[in-house]
Structures are given as C-alpha cells and as structure tokens.
Amino acid sequence: MFKVTPNPPHTDPVPYDASLDLDPKKMKEAADHALNFYLYPGALKEPIPPRNSSSDTFIINPAVNDETLLVQSCESLASATEMASEIASTMDGPQRRKMLMLQQVIRLGELAVNRVLDNHKPG
C-alpha cells in the first residue's frame, strides 16, 4: 500500500529567533505564578511583612486563608466560653460574677466572628 506522506514527514527546520530566547528562570517564575493563580488563589495576596520582634514565640502561617483563620478563632472562643463557664460554676460571690462577665465578653467575640463568617464570600 502506498503512503501519501513520508514516514516521518519532512518539514523545514524552525528558524532560530533571538527575540524568542526565553530565560529559564523567568519561565519558571511565570509557570509558578500561573499555577498559584489557578490552584491557590489566596496565595497571591499581598505578602504579610515578617515581624522582627524577638518575643514572637508563635506565628500564623501567612498562606492560611481568612476563612480558615475565622473558623479557628470561632472554635477557640467557643472553647474559652465553655472553660469560663466551668470555672464560674466552682466560684461564689464577686469572683463568680467576674468570671460570668468574662464569659459574656468571650461569647460576644464569638458572635462577632460568626457574623463575619456568615457574611464572608469565598474567593
């Protein structure tokens, strides 16, 4: 059986164009930027400048998105509310009232974080 095209077909070589000389480092940066844009949309936010305080023992990962931080804050406040309630149940008099006021302040913070979460639009 006769083939119309040779195997492999003969093609003219692509001429070298010096203006298309691409720097591998720039190509990698562009590829990383594109992947981060589509795979991690929150990663392209303006980076948080590092703190230079020597007293920072704990830090929050700058790559964590806002919604995750709000959810963690809400859960921490809910735990603090429960702990304050349990401690208040073991106290009497003015100390108990102070602990119940502290519980109320923590609960108000939790409600505020919940409202932000309810209003939060992902993306």
At 4, list the tokens.
Answer: 């119309």
Q: 20-32: b or e for each residue (b if 16 or more CB lie within 10 Å)?
A: eeeeeeeeeeeee
- Per-residue pLDDT tens for 23-40? 778 878 888 877 877 777
pLDDT of residue 63: 83
Q: In sequence order, what are the residues at sequence separation of 6 or more whose Cβ sits closer than 8 angstroms to the Cβ of residue 44?
A: 33, 36, 37
- Per-residue pLDDT tens for 78-102? 999 999 999 999 999 999 999 999 9
* Domain extent listing, the chain: 64-123
> Model confidence at 103, in pLDDT bands (50, 70, 90)?
very high
Mean pLDDT over all residues of the chain? 79
pLDDT of residue 58: 72
If one compares 55 and 34, the residue with the highest pLDDT of the two is: 34
